[in-house]
Amino acid sequence: MRNYIKRNDIILISAILLISLVFTVILYKGMRNGDRITVYVDNKTVGEYPLESDGTIVIEGYNGGHNTLSVENGYAFMSDASCPDKLCMHQGRISGEGQLIVCLPNRVIIKVTGGKDSGPEGRGEGGYDAITE
């Protein structure tokens, strides 16, 4: 029987895994926590809620659909949905600025916005990244 995995293959696989791990750590370390969630239905803003206060929000989605958004301990997650596949319920808890929960059948998007340490325009203490003419 032949040995299909060689020493160089193991080195290559190990290097790829190590690089992936480094990028994952950098990505999550640089993410700021948001302080509110914005709810969109069919590309229209229907509400904005603080992540600090626990509660349940019933969202009337597109064409009579509904979603139930729960906020607990600074995290938001979809606890119930009327869509057939319920993929939005399996997207997990979100709290990082820019993270999303999407329910395509009901056309609902939940987005974490407004980092706690962000200044004007959400760009950190210094304000804007750049100004052009």
Predicted local confidence at residue 121, as pLDDT: 44
Tokens 């979809």 sit at which residue? Answer: 78
**Rounded CA separation 24/44 (Å):** 32
Residue 130 corresponds to which tokens in the numbers above? 């750049």
Note the pTM of the prediction, 2 decimals: 0.67
Q: What three-state secondary structure class fits 78?
A: strand
Q: Which contiguous run of DSSP H or E holds residue 26?
A: helix 7-29
Q: Is the pLDDT of residue 130 over 80?
A: no
Strands lying side by side in the sheet with 55-60: 55-60, 66-72, 75-81
> What domains lie within the chain, and their CATH numbers?
34-115 (2.60.320.10)
With cut-offs at 50, 70 and 90, classify the pLDDT of residue 131.
confident
Give me the amino acid identity at 63.
Answer: N
With cut-offs at 50, 70 and 90, classify the pLDDT of residue 114.
confident
For the stretch 27-83, pLDDT in tens is: 777 677 888 999 999 999 999 999 998 999 999 988 899 999 999 998 999 999 999
Residues 6+ apart with CB under 8 A from 27: none
Predicted local confidence at residue 72, as pLDDT: 93
**Rounded CA separation 35/55 (Å):** 15
